[in-house]
Structure 1
Amino acid sequence: MYHTMARLLLKSMLLCAILASALAPAGAMAAELLMFERDGCVWCARWDRDVGPIYGKTEEAKLLPLRRVNIDRDKLAGVALDSPVRFTPTFVVMDNGREVGRITGYINDDAFWGLLGTMVTKLTPPNPNHT
């Protein structure tokens, strides 16, 4: 009887977790990488060539899904930046609605990965009780 009740409780908890994730607001993420860009940005194109094809396959992308924002066209609702973005590309790491850090400009892939790695260490650690 104990095993049956425990199994039922576990199934109920799993169902609640699935429902909660399905009902979460669209676009709600604990952490993400915002890439601010604009049409004709040479350095944005260079990032797209050097990093863009592999970013989605990295561990960093699992922690920080990329969201592109065109600063000339897109309105960014629900994000509170520490300061306005004036240069492109600018990469802003957001975690639970707060800006963790930013990379202004793009020099090369080594510099990008090094700076991003430093910011990843500042992210809120995942809750070990949440799977």
Structure 2
Amino acid sequence: MLAQPGCAWCLRFDEEIAPGYPHTAEGRRAPLRRVDITEPWPGDLAGIAPERLTPTFVLLADDGTEVARLRGYPGDNFFWPLLGEMMEKLGPAPAM
């Protein structure tokens, strides 16, 4: 999740989705990592294009390549279906 201080939509995501996200199948498969876009870009994300719009959700494959990107937070009713479409691009979840 690309975020920045003062982002009202980031705050809304934090209130509506973030508390339960780690407890979902999506959260276990794609843990949420926050990157502050006002700070230096992390070295391990050198191959990922930065973004000005926050929040932006960037889904990475295990090898660190970008699979999908969701710009903005569309609200809780739309976030989950859009995240589902992103997750489908990863392919089937590994067997547990």
Distance 1:67 1:56 in 2: 11
Q: Which residue is equivalent to 1:94?
A: 60
Q: Which residue is equivalent to 1:114?
A: 81
Q: CA deviation at 1:125?
A: 4.1
Q: Deviations over 1:3-50 (max 9, x none)?
A: xxxxxxxxxxxxxxxxxxxxxxxxxxxxxxxx0000000000000000
Q: Which residue is equivalent to 2:33?
A: 67
Q: CA deviation at 1:73?
A: 1.7
Q: CA deviation at 1:76?
A: 1.5
Larger CA Rg, structure 1 vs 2: 1
Name the TM-score, length of structure 2 as normaliser. 0.88
Q: Tell whether the 8 Å contact from 2:3 to 2:37 is kept in structure 1 after alignment.
A: yes
Q: Which residue is equivalent to 1:56?
A: 22
Letter in 2 for 1:91: F
- Identical positions, percent: 43
Distance verdict in 2 for CA 1:75–1:113, change over 3 Å? same
Count of aligned positions: 94
Name the TM-score, length of structure 1 as normaliser. 0.66
Q: CA deviation at 1:126?
A: 5.5
1:105 aligns with 2:72: yes
Unaligned runs of 5+ in 2: none
